[in-house]
């Protein structure tokens, strides 16, 4: 693991003039802070959001070039519509949006909400947009991928038997890392210059923590937001670091402080389950079957 020797910050962003970044869930939290920073560095930033009105309100607070487009990751028809309407290059695709520890719910297509939104929606979006991507794909994961039984439940990926909000969230975040691993393998095999990376924000105080199905968990997370967490600007730094620095494909970035909760961004480790190439390929195949979206570049089959 390579450590970041300095205190890398937003001021270290390169000039991004002429570049286009698409950020899912850019209307709030670390997605908004990433959008704000990238636009401030000269990029044209597309707010890909479920609620365009909220997206426009957020974009109005950003100094720089922005636009807002509707995207509901919990509805594959919306994902396809977004991709069908896209023209031109995308330098940076940042798969940021997500839901966390929700009560049991289903997406429009019948998938468990956290797996369907956090993984399947981004899986479909990335493959549909990949012919436009010129530089890299950054997908937001979490140290929660280390929680639970540390595996994808391939026999019951929707967790219909014994749903647990924390387990579902952990599975979706493990899926994000496995997706990045297999995406990079396929990009390399296809001879593509595009890189796939993952990032996690540490413990960042955002509105995600207020959505837990468990009131005790909400209380603990609320206290953590006050006592432990860094703010959303700090939480966005690993995303920005992964999106703009010269890092190897399949890298994973996060805060470099104690427990990876906060601190300057650097390369970080991951659970062994998140580095399993066989699980990554199996997840990819399953995701293609579930979404009906297949590998975009014509190479990369197992």
pLDDT along the chain (302 residues), means of 10: 64 98 97 98 98 98 98 98 98 98 97 98 98 98 89 96 94 98 98 97 65 51 52 94 98 91 93 97 98 80 38
Q: Residue 230's pLDDT is what?
A: 86
Nearest to 264 by CA among 254, 272, 252: 254
Q: Let me know if 60 is exposed, middle or buried by CB neighbors in 10 A (0-12, 13-18, 19+).
A: exposed
Residue 24 φ/ψ, nearest 5 degrees: -80, 145
| Residues classed as catalytic | 169
Query: What pLDDT does 87 receive?
Result: 97
Residue 226's pLDDT is 46
CATH number assigned to the domain covering 10-291: 3.40.50.720
User: Per-domain residue ranges for the chain?
Assistant: 10-291
């Amino acid at each position: 693991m390579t450590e970041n020797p300095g205190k890398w910050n937003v001021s270290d962003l390169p000039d991004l003039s002429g570049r286009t970044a698409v950020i899912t869930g850019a209307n709030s939290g670390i997605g908004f802070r990433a959008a704000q920073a990238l636009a401030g560095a000269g990029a044209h930033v597309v707010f890909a959001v479920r609620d365009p009105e909220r997206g426009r309100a957020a974009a109005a607070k950003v100094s720089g070039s922005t636009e807002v487009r509707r995207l509901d990751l919990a509805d594959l028809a919306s994902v396809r519509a977004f991709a069908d309407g896209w023209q031109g290059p995308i330098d940076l695709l940042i798969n940021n949006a997500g839901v966390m520890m929700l009560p049991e719910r289903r997406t429009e297509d019948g998938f468990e909400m956290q797996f369907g939104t956090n993984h399947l929606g981004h899986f479909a979006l990335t493959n549909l947009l990949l012919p436009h991507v010129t530089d890299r794909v950054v997908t937001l994961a979490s140290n929660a991928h280390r929680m639970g039984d540390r595996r994808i439940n391939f026999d019951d990926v929707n967790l219909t038997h014994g749903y647990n909000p924390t387990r579902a969230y952990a599975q979706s975040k493990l899926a994000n890392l496995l997706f990045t691993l297999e995406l990079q393998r396929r990009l390399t095999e296809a001879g593509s210059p595009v890189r796939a990376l993952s990032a996690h924000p540490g413990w960042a105080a955002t509105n995600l923590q207020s959505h837990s199905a468990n009131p005790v968990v909400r209380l603990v997370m609320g206290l953590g937001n006050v006592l432990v967490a860094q703010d959303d600007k700090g939480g966005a730094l690993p995303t920005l670091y992964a999106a703009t620095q010269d890092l190897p494909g399949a890298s994973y970035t996060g805060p470099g402080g104690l427990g990876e909760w906060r601190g300057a961004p650097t390369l970080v480790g991951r659970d062994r389950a998140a580095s399993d190439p066989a699980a990554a390929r199996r997840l990819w195949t399953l995701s293609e079957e579930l979404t009906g979206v297949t590998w975009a570049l014509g190479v990369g089959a197992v």
